[in-house]
């Protein structure tokens, strides 16, 4: 039987080894930066100045290494994926350190020193992971620590599953053979494997050959009919994977959760990694606070100009529909004349966007300054406060007014299963250049279905040139 405790110990050993690498990157980063003093106006200074950076870096990197399931499927990942996850971890780590240094006004800290530490950490983590992956693959190919599998079923799906398992990167799985639902066919060959018996023979088979896991592919009967077999496997310590064929065509992910004293299968389309969502929230708050501090002079100037150039409040407030329909007050710099919402009905016939949302390039309600604020996206900056409050995220589907959401088709409401954001795939795809409302909604659903911290980072990086070029902004 596969030793789960040994696996957990190995994962924890990886984790500790990578923290040692991060600690080494701290000293390597200082050494490299010190030898680059001639190229920078500000010398790096003595190592003691950066003493607090070592425990801070270890704590930050530890969080980003452990909580997002960094070590899940370690052997099955490609070299490129290992390098990518190391890069994401280091980028997030350096952003948190930059935010910390800026918030607490530690101007004596050399920023290039922090950047050099991150680069060294990336190189160290990537090399360490590739070495560990190579060693584990070699170790497994020699027959150690393999997952010995029996496939329950004898049809084409079962054969395809057996082939897929053995082709997994890292040579983790070795298929022993098949078992059938009925006693007939024992000894028959399917592909390069044999039928070892029926479902009822599984305990006897496991007593003769090593078996770690059983993959069952039901073709008939209710799922309850497999309960006895699952209990038999449970009694001998063999893990069972039961394929839920009737639910495979749903777009929801399945999770087994405990609630109200019972176990339930939960069907959800929202991201399921609580740790990654927590990191997203921490990053949102840290980045929003930092941007509010840095951009405060610009926001103050914008508010004064809005107030001086047209009648009405500087900040426009509107009720928007957030996550799963929660209503909140969204803040923007006012870009239209006061009371513009009342005149919308007169302009509905000139809407350039099909669907319930309203977009009009030459909207007569927009002020001269408002056109500039929209073009540069400065009007969106007050929404950083919405991010801090928890109404919004930096990245997510754009929140729409409640009266527009009421006109959604049922499939379009799924975009609201994540916290709304300031920027999104629609934003970086040209904003108002996407004139099909259905296309806009599909971009939002693509974001929800593909969400990851890496995707958020990619969208944020694409937002900068999109704002600078003002593509489709009006």
Q: For position 3, what pLDDT does the model report? A: 46
pLDDT grade, residue 72 (50/70/90)?
low
Domains of the chain: 4-141 (no CATH), 147-249 (3.40.50.720), 274-469 (no CATH)
Band of residue 437 on the pLDDT scale cut at 50, 70, 90: confident
Assess whether pLDDT exceeds 90 at residue 394. Answer: yes
- At 327 the pLDDT is 92
- Judge whether residue 384 has pLDDT over 90: yes
Q: How far apart are CA 204 and CA 147, in angstroms?
A: 19
The whole-number average pLDDT for the span 69-95 is 79
Q: Where are the alpha helices (DSSP H) in 67-211?
A: 79-103, 111-141, 156-166, 202-208
- Model confidence pLDDT, tens digit, residues 262-302: 777 777 777 767 778 888 898 899 999 999 999 999 999 99
Which residues lie closer than 8 Å to 324 by C-beta, 6 or more apart? 416, 417
pLDDT in tens, 229-256: 888 887 777 888 888 776 766 667 777 7
CA–CA distances in Å: residue 331 to residues 287, 327, 401, 470: 18, 13, 12, 21
pLDDT value, residue 301: 96
CA 39 to chain centre: 38
Distances (CA, A) of 155 to 159, 161, 182, 219: 7, 10, 13, 9
Q: Distance between CA atoms of 121 and 72, rounded to whole angstroms?
A: 20
Q: Hey, what's the torsion of the CAs at 66, 67, 73, 77, to 10 degrees?
A: -80
Buried b (16+ CB within 10 A) or exposed e, 447-468: bbeebebbebbebbeebeebbe
Q: What percent of the chain has pLDDT over 90?
A: 21
Which residues does residue 257 pair with via DSSP β-bridges, in sequence order? 264
């Amino acid at each position: 039987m596969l030793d789960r405790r040994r696996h957990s110990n190995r994962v924890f050993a990886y984790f500790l080894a990578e923290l040692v690498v991060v600690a080494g990157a701290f000293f390597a980063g200082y050494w490299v930066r010190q030898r680059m003093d001639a190229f920078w106006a500000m010398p790096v200074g003595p190592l003691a100045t950066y003493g607090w950076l070592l425990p801070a870096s270890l704590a930050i990197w530890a969080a980003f290494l452990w909580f997002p399931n960094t070590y899940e499927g370690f052997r099955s990942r490609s070299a490129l994926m290992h390098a990518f996850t190391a890069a994401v971890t280091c980028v997030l780590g350096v952003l948190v350190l930059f935010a910390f240094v800026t918030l607490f006004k530690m101007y004596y800290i050399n920023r290039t020193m922090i950047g050099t530490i991150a680069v060294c950490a990336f190189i160290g983590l990537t090399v360490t992971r590739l070495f560990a992956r190579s060693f584990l693959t070699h170790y497994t190919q020699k027959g150690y620590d393999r997952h010995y599998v029996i496939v329950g079923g004898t049809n084409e799906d079962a054969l395809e599953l057996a082939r897929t398992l053995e082709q997994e990167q890292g040579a983790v799985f070795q298929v022993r053979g098949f078992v059938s639902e009925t006693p007939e066919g024992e000894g028959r060959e399917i592909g390069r494997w044999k039928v070892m018996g029926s479902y009822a023979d599984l305990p006897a088979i496991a007593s003769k050959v090593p078996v770690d896991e059983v993959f069952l592919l039901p073709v008939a009967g209710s799922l309850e009919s497999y309960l006895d077999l699952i209990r038999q496997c449970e009694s001998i310590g063999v893990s069972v994977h039961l394929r839920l064929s009737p639910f495979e065509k749903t777009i929801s992910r399945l999770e087994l959760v405990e609630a109200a004293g019972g176990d339930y299968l939960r069907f959800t389309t929202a991201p399921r990694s609580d740790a990654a969502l927590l990191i997203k929230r921490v990053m949102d708050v840290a980045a929003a606070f930092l941007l509010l501090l840095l951009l405060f002079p610009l926001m103050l100037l914008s508010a004064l100009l809005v107030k001086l150039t047209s009648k009405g409040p500087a900040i426009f407030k509107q009720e928007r529909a957030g996550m799963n329909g929660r209503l909140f007050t969204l803040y923007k710099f006012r870009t239209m004349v006061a009371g513009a919402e009342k005149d919308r009905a007169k302009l509905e016939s000139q809407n350039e966007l099909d669907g319930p949302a309203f977009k009009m390039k030459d909207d007569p309600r927009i002020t001269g300054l408002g056109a500039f604020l929209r073009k540069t996206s400065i009007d969106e900056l007050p929404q950083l406060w919405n991010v801090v409050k928890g109404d919004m995220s930096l990245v997510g589907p754009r929140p729409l007014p409640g009266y527009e959401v009421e006109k959604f088709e049922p499939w379009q409401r799924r975009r609201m299963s994540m916290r709304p954001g300031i920027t999104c795939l629609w934003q970086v795809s040209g904003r108002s250049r996407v004139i099909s409302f259905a296309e806009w909604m599909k971009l939002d659903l693509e974001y929800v279905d593909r969400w990851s911290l890496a995707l958020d980072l990619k969208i944020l990086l694409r937002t900068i040139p999109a704002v600078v070029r003002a593509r489709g902004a009006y």
